[in-house]
Amino acid sequence: SLIGELGGTLAFDSLVQSGPNSAMSHGRPSSRKLAPGDLVLLDFGAAFDGYRADTTRMAVVGEPSERHREIHAVVLEAHDAAIAAVRPGATTGEVDAAARHSIDAAGYGERFFHRVGHGLGLEAHEAPSLDPGSQTVLEPGMVFTIEPGVYIPGFGGVRIEDDVVVEDGGCRVLTKADRSLRVITHT
């Protein structure tokens, strides 16, 4: 309702995935109830004046385990590596490679199944695609997502997604939401 009060609409159907379902990059709804230790993936966005935003944040039901914290930290580090690679003249494949190298170095390379990002604007998913080997050259004004993830069947998945705009000398992160692993109190 806040989005509507501010003159916006939903950019797409939000994803809320929990527990083992969070290990799928775009899971399906189920009737499973939240349980202590579940990772909860929230992928959402708003549209305003025709332009879209796309953000993913993470939570855990109850106190996070060391494994929850580790995987969240791995994804956050990969996310930051990708953002550091964004600059005019770089390619979309170089941005993807920065995140992928970070996740590989942490030992989770086989658990990162998708591209690191996609264009964003009038549609929630548009060109360019930031995937391995892609050769689109970044230019100032381009807007896209950065969304690395680690997905472990039977445990859950972590994805952190922000929207960025390419600017001279680098990029600016448009997303203002806190990237920390949130705790959902379980009663």
Q: What is the pLDDT along the chain (187 residues), one digit of tens a residue?
A: 555 566 666 555 667 888 888 898 677 777 889 999 999 999 887 777 888 888 899 999 999 999 999 999 999 999 999 999 999 999 999 999 999 999 999 999 999 999 999 999 877 888 999 999 999 999 999 999 999 999 999 999 999 999 999 999 999 999 999 999 999 997 6
CA–CA separation, 45 and 57 (whole Å):
11
Write out the two tokens for 28. 């399906």
53 in Cβ contact with 45 (< 8 Å): yes
Q: What is the pLDDT of residues 155-169, one digit of tens each?
A: 999 999 999 999 999
CA–CA separation, 115 and 121 (whole Å):
18
Q: What is the pTM of this model?
A: 0.91
Question: What range does the domain containing 117 cover?
Answer: 2-184
* Per-residue CA distances from 51 to 126, 159, 162, 164 (Å): 12, 23, 15, 14
Q: What is the pLDDT of residues 43-65, one digit of tens each?
A: 887 777 888 888 899 999 999 99
In 3D, which of 110, 111, 108, 82 has the Cα closest to residue 22? 111
What's the CATH code of the domain at 31? Answer: 3.90.230.10
176: left (phi over 0), alpha (psi -120 to 50) or beta: alpha
Query: For the chain, how many structural domains are there in total?
Result: 1
